[in-house]
Amino acid sequence: MDPLDRIDEIIELVQESRSVPMSRTNFMFDRAEMIERLDELRSELPSELRKAAAVLDERDRIIDAGRREADRIVSEGEAEHARLVSVNEITVSSEHEGARIIAEARTEAQRLREEVDDYVDTALANFEQFLTRALASIERGRDKMHALREIGTFQGEDSERPLPF
């Protein structure tokens, strides 16, 4: 389950908890169930972090592949340029053609680099949005939990005893 869904479940559990008699703000909930849900959330977050690391690794592989391809294209262009220059009858023509091939190779290499950068930027932006939503949801949940704690809703085992009146 998605960690954001897990956080929403916990918030819903808090919202649907029974109110303490004669109180509008205090509530009761099953501590074991809350701890279980929070443990599940904790166990899911590392998988999301591993996914982020995988995206970064993929980005590095794509960038490396793009660079290797660009280097190969440039090397081929330079080799073709050198071959054409070595032919005496068409020296001038071959120099121009070699320069054109190198320029095309560099243009293609730049295009590939930009394409890889765009892909990686998009993937990282998507992941950033996911993390931003997750962090905001976690922060809201923590703020709600702290607010409830401050008004005395987390009374532990004692809250399950009947009131003394």
pLDDT tens-digit series, residues 73-101: 999 988 887 776 666 666 777 788 889 99
Beta bridge partners of 18: 28
Q: How many domains does the chain have?
A: 1
Tell me if 164 is assigned to some domain. Answer: no
pTM over 0.75: no
In what helix (H) or strand (E) does residue 28 lie, and over which residues does it extend? strand 27-28
Helix (H, G, I), strand (E, B) or coil at 27: strand
pLDDT score recorded for residue 89:
64
Helix (H, G, I), strand (E, B) or coil at 24: coil
Tell me if 92 is assigned to some domain. Answer: yes
Question: pLDDT tens digits, residue range 94-133?
Answer: 788 889 999 998 998 999 889 888 888 898 889 899 999 9
Tell me if 155 is assigned to some domain. Answer: no
- The yes-or-no verdict on residue 158 having pLDDT over 60 is no
Tell me if 158 is assigned to some domain. Answer: no
Q: Residue 71: pLDDT band by 50, 70, 90 thresholds?
A: very high
Domain encompassing residue 126: 3-149
CA distance 86 to 90: 9
Tell me if 162 is assigned to some domain. Answer: no
CA distance 15 to 55: 36
Q: Residue 14: pLDDT band by 50, 70, 90 thresholds?
A: confident
Question: pLDDT tens digits, residue range 22-68?
Answer: 777 777 777 788 888 888 877 777 777 778 888 888 889 998 998 99
**Residue 158 has what DSSP assignment?**
G
Tell me if 159 is assigned to some domain. Answer: no
**Pick the residue with more confidence: 146 or 19?**
146
Mean pLDDT (the chain, rounded) = 81
**Residue 39 has what DSSP assignment?**
H
Tell me if 157 is assigned to some domain. Answer: no
Tell me if 13 is assigned to some domain. Answer: yes
